[in-house]
Amino acid sequence: MRGFFRDLMLKRKMRRAISARRDFHLPDDLASPDSLAVLCGDSEGDVWPALYLIESIRSHYQGARTRVICTERDRPLFSAMLGADDLLSYREMPTETLERLVEVRGERSIAFFPYRSISLAQASFLAQLRPLVSVGPTEHPCIGVSVRLSDDCRMPDMVHTICEVLHIQPRKNYRPSVSRSEMARAATVLAPVSGRAMPFVSCTRRIKDMLRDEGAEIPLKTVVLKGDHPDLRPPDRSLFLAVLGSSSVVLTDDPGMWGDACALGIPVVGLDEKGSFPGWRSDPASSREEFLQSWNHLLREGW
């Protein structure tokens, strides 16, 4: 019952904010905004579309203030990868964060939501920001400018396409990377004595057990990062990505781990039996047999 009344309240706030929305004019109101906001989703993989987009809009709209709204879990990651940009974090959406976003409600403000689907809480939050223009690749009353994407448009091409439609020059050479300080932290975790970790494979427990049962070749040490009884439990997401980024290859059946490896440019073989992996340029295997074939192919070709 509590959830019902919460949703009812969110819908009312969203409708009220949408009804008060100002008119905007294209393309003029996209030309020179004074403030920008990027609303990051709350799943682990949502950081990557946001980061790719932020790199492009910061370069295009030089001088405009950029605010990033993210979960508290992702705040250290955005801080490390973005530097001096304004960060506002939340535990659960919506929160008091709205009270700290008066600057977003400027005369020439743009809010970006770079995801194909939007929850009620996210839609209500975005509407209450009351930017002059809200942009995203999903059709919803809270989205003022909806960018249509083909079903086969994947990351990072998805963000590049959004930018090109809006006449924003995308940073196509950009790739997220883990900071040197975080990589140094990872080295001390992986090799506490020497601080120099030997090459290793990051994997999930299920994938390691499957490869062992199949008698598959694993030429390097394995480090289980997810699943039952992990070898390491990084205390925060930044350190997790640093450990993952230190690996030679990633073998996973976890959608978040798959997206992280793709974003960081680490060779990865994925097993997606439920069709739940985020779309990147490469495809995961859909069966055990296909996964083993992909792994054997990578072993032969090298990485």
pLDDT at 222: 97
Per the document, the length of the chain is: 303
Closest by alpha carbon to 113, among 144, 82, 88, 92? 144
The 10s digit of each residue's pLDDT in 171-210 is 999 999 998 999 999 999 999 999 888 999 999 999 999 9
pLDDT at 218: 94
CB atoms within 10 A of CB 67: 20
Domain(s) of CATH 3.40.50.2000: residues in the chain:
2-165, 180-301
Is a pLDDT exceeding 60 seen at residue 96? no
The CA–CA distances, whole Å, from 41 to 47, 114, 121, 179, 239 equal 7, 9, 11, 22, 20
Q: Is 226 helix (H, G, I), strand (E, B) or coil?
A: strand
| Confidence band, pLDDT 50/70/90 cuts, at residue 2 | low
Is a pLDDT exceeding 60 seen at residue 83? yes
pLDDT at 176: 94
The model carries a pTM of: 0.89
pLDDT at 131: 84
**Where do the H-state alpha helices sit in 20-100?**
47-60, 75-82
pLDDT at 25: 73
| Confidence band, pLDDT 50/70/90 cuts, at residue 90 | confident
The first and second tokens of residue 216, run together, are 């598959």
| Confidence band, pLDDT 50/70/90 cuts, at residue 101 | low
Cβ-based burial of 88 (10 A; exposed 0-12, middle 13-18, buried ≥19) = middle
The 10s digit of each residue's pLDDT in 10-20 is 788 778 877 77
Q: How far apart are CA 157 and CA 236, in angstroms?
A: 28
Angle subtended at Cα 20 by Cα 37 and Cα 124, rounded to the nearest 5 degrees: 50
The 10s digit of each residue's pLDDT in 225-275 is 999 999 999 888 999 999 999 999 999 999 999 999 999 999 999 999 999
The 10s digit of each residue's pLDDT in 114-129 is 999 999 989 988 888 8
Q: For residues 40-65, give the mean pLDDT.
A: 93
CB atoms within 10 A of CB 152: 7
| Confidence band, pLDDT 50/70/90 cuts, at residue 85 | low
Is a pLDDT exceeding 70 seen at residue 105? no
Record: fold of 180-301: Rossmann fold (3.40.50)
pLDDT at 174: 94
Q: What is the percent of the chain with per-residue pLDDT over 70, rounded to a whole number?
A: 93
Sheet with 35-39, side-by-side order of all strands:
86-90, 65-71, 35-39, 109-112, 133-136, 145-146
Residue written as token pair 């990033």: 68
Is a pLDDT exceeding 90 seen at residue 9? no
Angle subtended at Cα 88 by Cα 85 and Cα 94, rounded to the nearest 5 degrees: 150
The first and second tokens of residue 129, run together, are 């920001």
For 246, residues 6+ apart whose C-beta sits below 8 A from its C-beta are 183, 186, 187, 190, 197, 200
Q: For residues 66-75, give the mean pLDDT.
A: 90
Q: How far apart are CA 174 and CA 117, in angstroms?
A: 24
Please name the helix (run of DSSP H) or strand (run of DSSP E) that holds residue 41, with its range, or none. Answer: none
pLDDT at 46: 95
Q: For residues 40-68, give the mean pLDDT.
A: 93
Q: What CATH number should be reported for the domain whose range is 2-165?
A: 3.40.50.2000
CB atoms within 10 A of CB 244: 23
